[in-house]
Amino acid sequence: MKILIIGATGFIGKAIYQALKKSKYKVVASLRDFIDFTTLQYDKELIEKLQQIDIVVNAVGAIAETKRETFEQMHTLAPIALFDACKEAGVKRVIHISALGTQTGTTAYHTSKNRADEYLRASGLEYAILHPSIVYGDDGKSTALFQALATLPLTPIVGNGSQLLQPIRIEDLVATVQKCIESNEKKIELNLVGKEPVTYKELLETFRAWLRLKPTKSVSVPTIGTNVLGKILEEPTVNHDNIVMLNEGNSASVKPLADFLGYTPIGIRENLGKKEANNTQKLYASLYLIRPLLRLIIGFVWIWSGVVSAFLYPQSLALELLHEVGVPVGFDIPLLYMASFLDIGIGVLTIVGYRLQRILSLQIIVIVVYTLLLTFFAPYHWLHPFGAVLKNLPLIISIFILSRLERFR
């Protein structure tokens, strides 16, 4: 049996692919050269690609829209084109990873997924439509965010934090997909949830206890400006629609899933209570929110440095410093403004994240050059009581740390 996993680079798709690769099945992971959901349309080429496939697992999903990946394209149009092609190509079954709450949810995320669900039900294909709650595991983005929020001095909650969630382990989701492949049922539809629901507040408290941090007080945070905050933190899950989905609740009865699997998926509190986080997990959780904040602060330092040098600091003193390092009169003012606008440009590019690794490398080079020039031509600046040059050392280290953290975003 040949199985195609679409979305095999994502958290859920990757876990399904890795598990099925160890089984008796022949598994194909779709990359951009096989099926690209951002441009997917029903055509003969797609049908030809699917003719040798027995089962298709669609694990593609977007938690937030981008210019290239809209909910309409990723959750509705592309899946419908895929389902049509599967039917014509003779694919035996489609396993479709949807989301819990699609039939009752009001957000564009839910409604776009629901349209694809309804189309698959009416397609005539054998199918399994799986509706997972929050899926957690070592590589999950939502897991990482919850862990990071749990490390804060005060636990941030929405409202009173009583919204019900019912997270499911990635291992239980994978087991469900495997059972759907083996099942003789032609139409399967299941809510994928853990043993029992927890409130949003309890969820963060559970992660905090797992990280072996002392209990702390919670604080209700305003939801105005959530989209802006999400962009600042580079967290697509932090947006207005997800707040709406949180308030709508995300729980269901576990019994149908337990009957299907032959066991009851473990609850998150019980699962995390079995063992404490290791030091690597604790470090990752504590640094998770540091990365975007560090990038913003470093970017601001460069912008402010450029603005001060060009417009706020007494020009005579700035020119005097340039003369000390050997810049002749006539070149001093152009160089002052050129250096200032270079600093501002570096800061802006850092904040927007444009070719960030190269920009961070450039920052280190610029700081090292500045520092060496002052060291050789005006070394007394190392004795400045405010550490004007000395502070370059921790700044270089901070930039290096940011470059390392960015590689694991």
**Cβ-defined contacts of 226-230 (< 8 Å, 24+):** 230/64
Cα 52 to Cα 136: distance, rounded to the nearest angstrom: 33
Share of the chain above pLDDT 90, in %: 77
| Whether residues 384 and 332 fall in one domain | yes
Given CA atoms 179, 183, 189, 190 in this order, what sign does their dihedral have? negative
pLDDT score for 127: 98
Structural domain includes residue 348: yes
Structural domain includes residue 332: yes
Structural domain includes residue 101: yes
Cα 320 to Cα 269: distance, rounded to the nearest angstrom: 64
Tally of domains in the chain: 3
| Whether residues 273 and 140 fall in one domain | yes
Is residue 37 within 8 Å of 116, Cβ to Cβ? no
Q: What is the pLDDT of residues 69-115, one digit of tens each?
A: 899 999 999 999 999 999 999 999 999 999 999 999 999 999 999 99
Is residue 263 within 8 Å of 147, Cβ to Cβ? no
| Whether residues 300 and 382 fall in one domain | yes
Is residue 335 within 8 Å of 322, Cβ to Cβ? yes
CATH of the domain at 155: 3.90.25
pLDDT score for 31: 59
Q: What is the pLDDT of residues 39-58, one digit of tens each?
A: 777 778 889 889 999 999 99
CATH of the domain at 17: 3.40.50.720
- Placement of tokens 């749990």 in the chain: 150
| Whether residues 75 and 149 fall in one domain | no
The boundaries of the domain holding residue 318 are 292-406
| Whether residues 14 and 73 fall in one domain | yes
| Whether residues 38 and 127 fall in one domain | yes
Q: What is the pLDDT of residues 186-242, one digit of tens each?
A: 999 999 999 999 999 999 999 999 999 999 999 998 888 888 888 777 787 888 888
